[in-house]
Amino acid sequence: MRILSFSLIWLAGAAAAWAQPYRVTVENGVPVRTRDGVRLIADVYRPQADGKFPVLLERTPYNRAGGAGEAVKMAAEGYVVILQDTRGRYDSQGEFYPFRFESQDGYDTVEWAARQPWCDGQVGMFGGSYVGATQMLAAISSPPHLKAIFPYVTASEYYEGWTYQGGALLQWFASSWSSGLVTDTLRRKAAELANPKAWIDALPIESYRMLALPPVSSLAPYFADWVAHERDDEYWRPWKISEHYAEMNSKSLHAGGWHDIFLKGTINNYMGMRRSSPARADQRLMLGPWAHAATSPEGKIGDVTFGKAAVLDMTGTTLRWFDYALKGRRNEYATGAPVRIFVMGENRWRDEQEFPLARTQYTNYYLRGGHLLSTQAPGRETSESYDYDPANPVPTIGGRLCCGNQIPPGPADERPIEKRSDVLIFSTPPLTRDIEVTGLIRAKIEAATSAPDTDFTVLLVDVEPSGYARFLTDGILRARYRTSTRKAEPITPGKIYAYDIDMWATSNVFRAGHRIRLYVSSSNFPRFNRNLNTGESNLGATRMQKAHQTIYHDAAHPSALVLPVIPR
């Protein structure tokens, strides 16, 4: 274990923003022993001063060293900051399996920190994505000294909204995230075989141990498990955060992005804890225009520059939240509204008292003949049809993605998919006035298919007078999971079914002169895995068949986009 001392020297501008009262001491490689004997490794950043301080803990699978700069800043403000590699990652012992050990390891680390002589008995946790998952999973185990959390862009459970959505696998995320994790796992496995003294006397000579590296299936066994468990079954139950809100007694700042892959989880965590947590009065929600990627200094996300107000000062926000939650300071989190949202289209922040907003007017925009969206209900109209071929799926363009930069996340121009024969387009005429849409969105589609199973997808865009069609939100529903993702219910080819598709949420002002547009199709690949239209489970499936899809929009089958319109 190495002990370092930092004397913080800042440029004049930084010094004005950060009044630093403490120098910082860093202890690298601090071991924390879990209940089952696994040694987790952490770095501890402490103010160089006598006394006790609140602890801020980040448990990460992405290499604790990456957070050193932020940790120094926060420790200089009077916190002990602990950065820990999660089990089976980087310097920590054990085998990594997403979610499986995070509750017990989080509990053990929180309580270990609380026992240290430099801790004042209060522990907070912070961080985003899977680091948010380590917070939520720790919180459901109710460590007595976990007083506050700041989960950023994370989920409320790990079936719906992390691995699956509407019964469809989030294939791009599951694949790309697992690929990133495998890099460190492979390094660890290679290191285990790299000592020649352990195998140099083995015969035959060609049994060189480095040739015994494990197959990819053993580097990420969870991926195969996710594919095998395509239903919301008992495999997912131990990590179902949404079943434990009443046990989570932590002040919480839930932050997410309108373009983030885990947006629905952020919203659900806030709503669930606001309703059921013993700390319900100390739940806060912040929703920006962010995607699951960095925001440029100008506030550019995907194609769109939302302005510098859209840039989140992560370190500053973290400090202000814990100044309130752990130090009792009367800042904006003590006196302000519980909800803060970024309204796109106007590109400004607005405070609210609840989410969804109490003044919401849920409004049906019906699919009509002539490819129209209208608030007027349909009468006697014809249906619309297209053919879906899983060998030629509709490509994903931007939107709620992670990870890697091959398909950039965030708002993008969706016009390229309008040229396809397997995408139906429904639009309002140019709007005569501004319309604000803020809140939860659904599409209720009445449809039939020639196949024994298929998907229906929807995507909402804001169409500017120039024609630019900006992504806002999307959704998918696998036909056999139309009633519940816990049980597959086969469909009858040719029969009309109602599909209630969750499109999650957004906040956007459609300006006068713009159009509201909805795309209806049956694929959005590789964001979601292709439905092969055979009714077979994902595991082992290779056979494909085409499907003829019919979308109905008459008085007896009123397909509609349901928008949360906010009076202005």
**Host H or E run for residue 135:** helix 130-139
154 token code pair: 């994370």
Q: How many other β-carbons are positioned within 10 Å of the β-carbon of residue 519?
A: 22
Residue pointed to by tokens 């000579």: 205
65 token code pair: 């060293």
List of residues 6+ apart from 482 with CB closer than 8 A: 489, 491, 497, 498, 499, 500
Looking at the chain, how many residues does it have? 568
Query: Which residue out of 244, 259, 292, 514 is catalytically annotated?
Result: 292
Q: What letter represents residue 509's amino acid?
A: V
3-state secondary structure of 1: coil
Residue 434 appears among annotated catalytic residues: no
- Determine contact, residues 232/125, Cβ cutoff 8 Å: no
Q: Alpha-carbon distance 532 to 545, whole Å?
A: 6
How would you classify the pairing of strands 372-374 and 361-368?
Answer: antiparallel
Query: Which residue out of 108, 184, 260, 282 is catalytically annotated?
Result: 260
List of residues 6+ apart from 37 with CB closer than 8 A: none
Query: Which residue out of 129, 156, 250, 277 is catalytically annotated?
Result: 129
Residue 292 appears among annotated catalytic residues: yes
SS (H, E, C) 88-125: CCCCCCCCCCCCCCHHHHHHHHHHHHHCCCCEEEEEEE
- Determine contact, residues 381/295, Cβ cutoff 8 Å: no
Residue 453 appears among annotated catalytic residues: no
383 token code pair: 């249906």
Peptide bond into 526 cis (omega under 30): yes
Q: Alpha-carbon distance 536 to 532, whole Å?
A: 8
Select from 356, 459, 454 the least CA-distant residue to 417: 459
Catalytic residues: 129, 260, 292
